[in-house]
Structure 1
Amino acid sequence: MVSMPGTLAFDEYGRPFIIIRDQQNQKRLTGVDALKSHILAGRSIANTLKTSLGPKGLDKMMISADGDVTVTNDGATILKMMDVDHEIAKLMVQLSQSQDDEIGDGTTGVVVLAGSLLEQAELLLDKGIHPIRIADGFELAAQFAVKHLEKISDSFPVDQNNLEPLIQTAMTTLGSKIVNKCHRQMAEIAVNAVMAVADMEKRDVNFELIKVEGKVGGRLEDTMLVKGVVIDKDFSHPQMPKKLSSIFSFLLVFIKLPKLMTKHKLDVTSVEDYKALRQYEAEKFSEMVQQVKDAGATLAICQWGFDDEANHLLLQKQLPAVRWVGGPEIELIAIATGGRIVPRFEELSTDKLGHAGLVRELQFGTTKDRMLVIEECKNSRAVTIFIRGGNKMIIEEAKRSLHDALCVVRNLVQDNRVVYGGGAAEISCSIAVSQEADKISSLEQYAFRAFADALESVPLALSENSGLSPIHTLTEMKARQLKENNPALGIDCMLKGTCDMKEQHVIETLHSKKQQIVLATQLVKMILKIDDIRSPNDGMSL
């Protein structure tokens, strides 16, 4: 049953019709009009990101409602911060986010490819080809392109004794980022961080063991990799030593000191009662501190705080302490030092203590900011990347850049097959898909050729952003790939004098490139099957 809110009226022949309320304000698109609307929205998003692709890509400045400024060329971050209303534009945002969640790199390229596929689909629609045939043709072409990528992929050496190939790959990822002024240093930090926590037998990397901290001030060149943990805290008392060396132990406690945890009512009616209570609290806390000392601990790290009196007692007992350490930091310290988190003092024993070689307090410039560095830990797999920068914006962008580099190195540890960047893989796939289209007798051959043209959008955008002549450069590379049968020939964005991406060490993981093609095709296929779009108040309700 269909309910149509409105007024029933009759024309001059007595035929009834519905007058829908606010009909001029209703929004409903069907058929080709709906498809054209979807395609326009998707292309608008892709065109916004296209200028950020590649090592010479431009940055975008995003200003939030609160006035916070973000400058970045990371596709996922740009789209996440964009305020989009169109439903298809929101799907493009989710596409970039899914690429970021699964791979960590290629978030701009996947959106550019999806936008180009939508552009080609519009041309096919204008020819009168049914959207379902276009979608099916794109799906077949994507499957063929993925198989071709596997044919042209190379095996990549992942060896802990020879990190240079991995560093070169990380440098490729960081080439378009704000950190490229200390390009190699950041690449080395990313590679060393991943290899420190990588399990080469299982071919897996636990990112929870890699912590990224930042502090405003200093230069990007001051960024360092700490084989241990950095926490944004200082010792609880200013007279406690600023540096503890040699092997010592940690007590990781969750309890709050030295408050009495009770639901019962306690009446203090005289000065003597109050003094007795104070004396009891002091004695109990002294017992607690002594238990810690007897267990052999030389540093107490507590998730909760303790008052000034307790702090003074810790100083008297020569037991350095750190308070208000967050739960994730506590867990990371426990992993790094091999210690156990102790919920109450009664459970404390020597075998539950962690071990480290050095704890030192860092001070920064003329400010009173301090941080603690815990190094030479028993379990050296936990590492921290400590980033410095001139302002918060640079530090946040450096974090995003290093995240991409860490993800690329992790992907190589998991699957060491690679293809070559600079648009080389896309050009090779475009040639292969176009040649395959000549062998197809059905209508899908048009979709195959359109898919091949869409793949060329990436090298075209790379050459345009690098100040080269897009059509001329792409035509030359396609001709050379066909003549030399070399799928590593791409766009020389950095003007190094060679178009062989293998020589330039411009490398992308096979998994990332396959994921880009598959995700972009799936989204476009879904969009092409939507022929009706209604707003919630379009005047019709079922």
Structure 2
Amino acid sequence: MAMMPGSLAFDEFGRPFLILKDQEKQKRLTGNDAIKSHILAAKSVAQTLRSSLGPRGLDKMMISADGDVTITNDGATILKMMDVEHQIAKLMVELSQSQDNEIGDGTTGVVVLAGALLEQAEILLDKGIHPIRIADGFEMAAQRCMEYLESDLSMEFPIEEREMLIKAAETTLSSKIVSKCNRQMAEIAVDAVLSVADLKTRDVNFELIKVEGKTGGRIEDTLMVKGVIIDKDFSHSQMPKVLKDVKIAILTCPFEPPKPKTKHKLDVTSVEDYKELHKYEQEKFIEMVQKVKEAGATLAICQWGFDDEANHLLLHHNLPAVRWVGGPEIELIAIATGGRIVPRFEELTEAKLGKAGTVRELTFGTAKERMLVIEDCVNSKAVTILVRGGNKMIVEEVKRSLHDALCVVRNFIRDSRVVYGGGSTEIACSIKIQQEADKISSLEQYAFRGFAEALEAIPMALAENSGLAPIQNLTAVKAKQVQDKNTKLGMDCMGKGTFDMKEQNVLEPLHSKKQQIMLASQLVKMILKIDDVRSPVDKYGM
């Protein structure tokens, strides 16, 4: 509810107070009316995302205030870019964001599930059930659901088998723009994570994976480099384009003569003074270059720029250099090459140099665009993925897709248990919760049945988005699951002729599924407990 219209006035002591206008016309929502208003807002957000769920889900075009266009079907990105006013709708945005931060995937599914739970809650409210009983019932059902996932539906996943990880990454990428080169992208994601993963401690350092984008070329031209790619080129066009067995000086000090740090000014009044100043500058430049050469460096990477004179001297002394390299890139180069960042020329020693097998320049198309590749580093764990695409929008969407795939592979390494996707897990949980509802003698059994109904919203949406008849397919798969006692049956979204998700290799991390159910039920419980909407003025009793 918006702030009530009013004006600010001051009493004789200078203390401000509000004079409210049209107070008698103001409305305040309370009780079930407030809860239904919240449910409506949350349902509208979920409905927006519903059509983006699954491998055949549709994309959304988001246009920002300054005209930037983003096309994506990633739930977290869509909600982040939506101009949401309603407070409950903002909670839905935060819900998808927390799923993205924790898991990296399943951001659309969690919002669709929360929307379906609220839809069921509305039906139960109309039956006269108190919102607290509904919320408690949903929480109990979510708890049973997670226990069932852990005990019966999950299976151990062999993370040592690269092929299985690739299949899991392919499941994530099947709904993205990169689905036409699914296998290649899945291999890149798996190889990148395995390069930086510590399988003993089950830890993955995402800091060592860098994703760079370059427009032009096809998505298939995307490549992974075991090293670092920086969007710079050698400072002089005549410097060699390929360097072998490189020793790198990583500098954060500028290649220029020291300047007076105070507010003094230097007046040059004669030709002799100017020549003397020029000679001093030349000596300082040569001294700097010599210090780098004496340390044994064969390449200088500098965070700051240097002028043409310094550039010429570097070329003259056969010292290739790169300038204007940003802070994060400098840090990544230091980690990858085992070098130290040097803030002063005086501190540069051979021990602080980074080492790399090859440094080469990549060129793209006819636009004279270049990038540097630093490969075969001492710390070979650092990897860079160079994403290519026809335009900026495609490159950004491929980056988002790869981020999801990287997160999923990381989740498998952290917790190697999996469940089957394609809506099979939700259908199995729905059947189980329905059975549990029959054993409950209290009012919560209605909430259990509502929860089971809500779980079916995911396979329904998958079938709908794939152009299948949703109700017929859902009832057929549900009946077959009960009849065959096979919990691996889900929606055949890709038209492969089988409902068995094991045959289709559709895998999802158990942790992701549990997180979705837990976050959705927690948010629904919070919304059902809000029965009064007050503006900032109302809380003072005005």
- For normalisation by structure 1, the TM-score amounts to 0.94
Contact 1:20 1:539 in 2 (8 A): no
The verdict on how the C-alpha distance between 1:525 and 1:334 changes in structure 2, with shifts beyond 3 A counting, is same
* Aligned alpha-carbon RMSD (Å): 1.6
Contact 1:489 1:500 in 2 (8 A): yes
What do residues 151-195 of structure 1 show as CA deviations (whole Å, max 9, x unaligned)? 210000101xx3110001100000010011111101100000000
**Counterpart of 1:40?**
40
Deviation at 1:44, TM superposition (A): 0.2
In 2: Cα distance, 1:29 partner to 1:230 partner: 56
2:536 partner SS: coil
Contact 2:257 2:284 in 1 (8 A): no
The aligned amino acid for 2:484 is: E
**Counterpart of 2:234?**
235
Deviation at 1:261, TM superposition (A): 3.4
**Counterpart of 1:249?**
247
- Counterparts of residues 279-318 of structure 1 (less than 5 Å): 279-318=279-318
**Counterpart of 1:12?**
none
The aligned amino acid for 1:210 is: I
Unpaired stretches in structure 1, ≥5 consecutive residues = 7-18
The aligned amino acid for 2:310 is: A
**Counterpart of 1:490?**
490
2:405 partner SS: helix
Deviation at 1:361, TM superposition (A): 1.0
1:534 partner SS: coil
2:533 partner SS: strand
Unpaired stretches in structure 2, ≥5 consecutive residues = 7-18
Contact 1:190 1:406 in 2 (8 A): yes
**Counterpart of 2:89?**
89
In 2: Cα distance, 1:508 partner to 1:44 partner: 27
Larger CA deviation: 250-259 vs 521-530: 250-259
**Counterpart of 2:381?**
381
Percent pairwise identity:
73
The aligned amino acid for 2:335 is: I
In 1: Cα distance, 2:236 partner to 2:324 partner: 13
2:471 corresponds to 1:471: yes
**Counterpart of 2:11?**
none
**Counterpart of 1:430?**
430
**Counterpart of 1:180?**
179
**Counterpart of 2:51?**
51
How many pairs does the alignment contain? 524
Deviation at 1:256, TM superposition (A): 1.3
In 1: Cα distance, 2:48 partner to 2:389 partner: 28
In 2: Cα distance, 1:396 partner to 1:33 partner: 42
What do residues 270-292 of structure 1 show as CA deviations (whole Å, max 9, x unaligned)? 22222212211211221111111
2:440 partner SS: coil
1:35 partner SS: helix
Deviation at 1:366, TM superposition (A): 1.2
Larger CA deviation: 270-279 vs 106-115: 270-279
Structure 1 segments of 4 or more deviating over 6 A?
Answer: none
The aligned amino acid for 1:145 is: C
Contact 1:426 1:459 in 2 (8 A): yes
Larger CA deviation: 22-31 vs 311-320: 22-31
Deviation at 1:25, TM superposition (A): 6.1
What do residues 42-95 of structure 1 show as CA deviations (whole Å, max 9, x unaligned)? 000000000000001111111111111111000000000111111000000000
Contact 1:104 1:404 in 2 (8 A): yes
In 1: Cα distance, 2:414 partner to 2:107 partner: 20
2:62 corresponds to 1:31: no
2:29 partner SS: strand
In 1: Cα distance, 2:25 partner to 2:43 partner: 26
What do residues 238-275 of structure 1 show as CA deviations (whole Å, max 9, x unaligned)? 11111112x12000000112131322424433222222
The aligned amino acid for 2:255 is: L
In 2: Cα distance, 1:515 partner to 1:114 partner: 12
In 2: Cα distance, 1:277 partner to 1:202 partner: 59
Contact 1:29 1:533 in 2 (8 A): yes
Deviation at 1:24, TM superposition (A): 6.9
- For normalisation by structure 2, the TM-score amounts to 0.94
What do residues 98-127 of structure 1 show as CA deviations (whole Å, max 9, x unaligned)? 000000000000000000000000000001
In 2: Cα distance, 1:306 partner to 1:541 partner: 65
1:28 partner SS: coil
What do residues 392-434 of structure 1 show as CA deviations (whole Å, max 9, x unaligned)? 0000000000000000000000000000000011111111111
**Counterpart of 1:263?**
261
2:384 partner SS: strand
In 2: Cα distance, 1:153 partner to 1:5 partner: 55
**Counterpart of 1:202?**
201
Contact 2:255 2:288 in 1 (8 A): no
Contact 2:50 2:112 in 1 (8 A): yes
Deviation at 1:537, TM superposition (A): 4.8
In 2: Cα distance, 1:286 partner to 1:541 partner: 76
Deviation at 1:540, TM superposition (A): 5.9
In 2: Cα distance, 1:5 partner to 1:285 partner: 67
Contact 1:419 1:509 in 2 (8 A): yes
What do residues 474-520 of structure 1 show as CA deviations (whole Å, max 9, x unaligned)? 11111111122211111111111111111111000000000000000
Deviation at 1:368, TM superposition (A): 1.7
**Counterpart of 2:508?**
508
The aligned amino acid for 1:302 is: C
What do residues 111-144 of structure 1 show as CA deviations (whole Å, max 9, x unaligned)? 0000000000000000110001111111111000
Contact 1:27 1:538 in 2 (8 A): no
**Counterpart of 2:348?**
348
The aligned amino acid for 1:299 is: L
2:485 corresponds to 1:454: no
In 2: Cα distance, 1:537 partner to 1:65 partner: 31
**Counterpart of 1:16?**
none
In 1: Cα distance, 2:257 partner to 2:457 partner: 66
2:396 corresponds to 1:366: no
Deviation at 1:347, TM superposition (A): 1.2
Contact 2:52 2:108 in 1 (8 A): yes
Contact 1:360 1:374 in 2 (8 A): yes
2:493 partner SS: coil
In 2: Cα distance, 1:155 partner to 1:521 partner: 26
Deviation at 1:27, TM superposition (A): 4.6
Deviation at 1:467, TM superposition (A): 1.2
In 2: Cα distance, 1:27 partner to 1:315 partner: 75
